[in-house]
Amino acid sequence: MTKRKILLVSYYFPPLGGVGTFRAMKLCRHFPDLGWDTQVLTPHPSQYYCVDHSLLDQIPAATKVHRTESLDPFRIYRKLKGEPRVERGTPEAQDSTRSDPFFGRITRFGKALNTWLFVPDNKIGWYPFGARAGIRIVKEEKIDLVYTINVPQTCHLIGRAIGRATGIPWVADFRDAWTANPDLEPPTPIHKSITSAQERSVLREAAAVIAVNDTIRDILRKAGGGDPNKYVTIHNGYEPGDFESHVPIDLDRFTMVFVGTFHRRTDPALLFGPYAEALSAGEIPRGKTEIVVVGAQTARAMETVRRLKIESEVRFTGFLSHPESLRWMSSADLLLQLIASGPGSDQIVSGKLYEYMGAGRPVLTIGPPGEARSLVERLRVGWSADVTSPRSVRKALVQAWSEHDGGGIPFDPDRNGVAFLSFPRQTELLAERLSGIVPLSD
């Protein structure tokens, strides 16, 4: 079968870890089976808070990965440190904010300056290298379609430049909203004017706009206008095969597992505070339960646990490789998701929620009304608690313990609905959409 050629443009790609990497990595894995010869354009690895070398082994050997230089701040930092480039087969997972405390400090400081100094984001230093390389690759490799994945938004600007220079179609994939993203609030009217113009241009010039959920799709449709049918939802997903061979972790308590990082807007006290209250009131017996936090964490999370005096009930694993994280998910009695309330919180689902569903364990989503709570309740994979109400969170945690202690948490998910959200199925839907843009030639 004659295959069409697609060039994925993604800043985040293995060995960089974290949720930002997975969409590109999984598309890379499944596109070839659907008639798309896949190549990747990405920069040489920058300094990043989590690095997972095991992810390199998930990239098909036939995939051609084009790496370029970049002048973004974290890439420059990595070059100044003189760190070697990583290769396949390196097993370690690394949390750079712990192994390099100075990097952790400048990361926190830099977040306050990013929106002032860089438009549209602090990866704009990759733009000249990525655009130039992308144009060359399209011509030399006879690429049929360019597919760009945010964040950063710089990826879309690179795709736009390639499309303008070569005339081939490009598709913009949004893992997050752009100007409607509260974490990317422009600091001045001038910044807002520039980023809004960039967003409109990208949305209008792209052959199709892909969003990870319906809320973001509708936001982009309103911002870009034009044919409403060009805006399509393709969910993040889970890989069924990733859960087939895990050896369960031997646990002697009712174990609730939170996978991820407590970011700036997500106060760990939203979870640990109600848990500590339930322990103090005797509603959850001490020594019988545990919250395991899997992932790179800030000092704030650990200090919160110390302040609440629940160190014996909370375990921090630190950043783990993806297979080890999945092992914790599969072994949990209950999986926890935490989404803080605030502007834009209704857009958030998080890629890990799909992997939670793939793990086949009950889920408690603590958050405001929005995409995540709707998904959990619609597919019956668990239940939700109102993040703005400590009483609601406490009640949900007590309910989970009581049901477990009484024989087990009821769990009857919509298995067909969950299967629809697997990466293979979602990639099939995406491939069908792309085939309408670049039909298979005779």
Question: For residue 48, what pLDDT is reported?
Answer: 67
Q: Is 89 exposed, middle or buried (0-12, 13-18, 19+ CB in 10 A)?
A: exposed
- Whether 394 and 427 share a structural domain: no
- Whether 22 and 133 share a structural domain: yes
Contact criterion met (CB below 8 Å) for 45 and 86: yes
Question: For residue 111, what pLDDT is reported?
Answer: 59
In a domain, 254, yes or no: yes
- Whether 228 and 273 share a structural domain: no
The CATH number for 293's domain is 3.40.50.2000
Tens digit of each residue's pLDDT, the chain (442 residues): 578 999 999 999 998 887 788 899 999 999 999 999 999 999 998 766 677 888 888 899 999 999 999 887 776 666 666 655 544 444 444 444 454 455 455 555 555 567 778 888 889 999 999 999 999 999 999 999 999 999 899 999 999 999 999 999 999 999 999 999 887 788 899 999 999 999 999 999 999 999 999 999 999 999 999 999 999 999 999 999 888 877 889 999 999 999 998 877 789 999 999 999 999 999 999 999 999 999 888 889 999 999 999 999 999 999 898 889 999 999 999 999 999 998 888 888 888 999 999 999 999 999 999 999 999 999 999 999 999 999 999 999 999 999 999 999 999 999 999 999 999 999 999 999 999 999 876 5
Give the closest residue to 397 by CA, choosing from 262, 299, 258: 258
- Whether 390 and 432 share a structural domain: no
Phi-psi region of 282 (alpha: psi -120 to 50; beta: other; left: phi over 0): left
- Whether 298 and 339 share a structural domain: yes
In a domain, 277, yes or no: yes
- Whether 271 and 223 share a structural domain: no
- Whether 208 and 97 share a structural domain: yes
- Whether 218 and 333 share a structural domain: no
Give the structural domain span for 377. 241-418
Contact criterion met (CB below 8 Å) for 58 and 25: yes
- Whether 117 and 199 share a structural domain: yes
Residue 77 sits at φ, ψ, to 5 deg, of: -60, -45
- Whether 391 and 431 share a structural domain: no
How long is the chain?
442
Rounded to whole angstroms, how far apart are CA atoms 414 and 132? 47
Question: Into how many domains does the chain fold?
Answer: 2
- Whether 428 and 389 share a structural domain: no
Encoded tokens for 388: 């703005």
In a domain, 342, yes or no: yes
- Whether 340 and 429 share a structural domain: no
In a domain, 118, yes or no: yes
In a domain, 442, yes or no: no
Encoded tokens for 416: 């067909």
